[in-house]
Amino acid sequence: MKEIKLTHFITQDDSYVVYLGNYKKVVFKSKKTCLAFLAATSRKLTTVLHELNLIYSDCFTLYRSLWSYFDHNKNTRKAALYQNHRTIKYNLFTISDEIDNVVIRSWHHNSSVMTFVSYKFIITNLLNTLVLLNTTVDNKSIHNIKLKISHLKKQLSIIQSELLNIGVQEATEFLNADTDLEQLFEHQYVHKQSA
């Protein structure tokens, strides 16, 4: 089965440090605990990857079921419909590639950060695709498709908020008794201020 496999950490002084792509820095005193944390985080990220793949599959199915609506058969301009169609096809192609690549890259040195970057890319493109699909059916009476699109958007929103907290629960499970919880996430990146 395809999975995320995080294995890299940094050794600083007598500690083992893992940087995650959701702006978390986790510090452990033992290598064994650090590796257990990486394994638990990898399992959680693998679950998220499979959820994203299922949503991608649903988006692709929706696109194919709405394929005939990308031409309105009127003697008016169709540029907007064609542009939506091209953008959706491109998004679906790049999402598929990114889902495959995130598994391959998860074995690399900076994988704990890059996995989150890939997930953000996948989620953003899935949301953009769903918005474009919704635009395509806006003036049509295809209520069940609109409900499906809304449901998929909600699922992506839930996954986004889960990604922000990945590592927190896993880290608390592997804390040494002498590690202070406040020191665990002593350093949250200031990067969020730029967003």
Give helix then strand counts, H and E, for the chain: 6, 3
Q: Where are the domains of the chain?
A: 10-194
pLDDT at 27: 87
What digits encode the pLDDT tens for the residues 24-59? Answer: 888 888 888 889 889 999 999 999 999 999 999 999
Q: Tell me the CATH class for 10-194.
A: mainly alpha
Q: With 0.85 as the threshold, say if the pTM is over it.
A: no
Q: Which residues are within 8 A (CB) of 49 and not within 5 positions of it... i.e. 6 or more apart?
A: 2, 3, 4, 99, 102, 103, 119
* The two three-digit tokens of residue 33, written as one number: 């605990």
The rounded Cα 192 to chain-centroid distance in angstroms is: 17
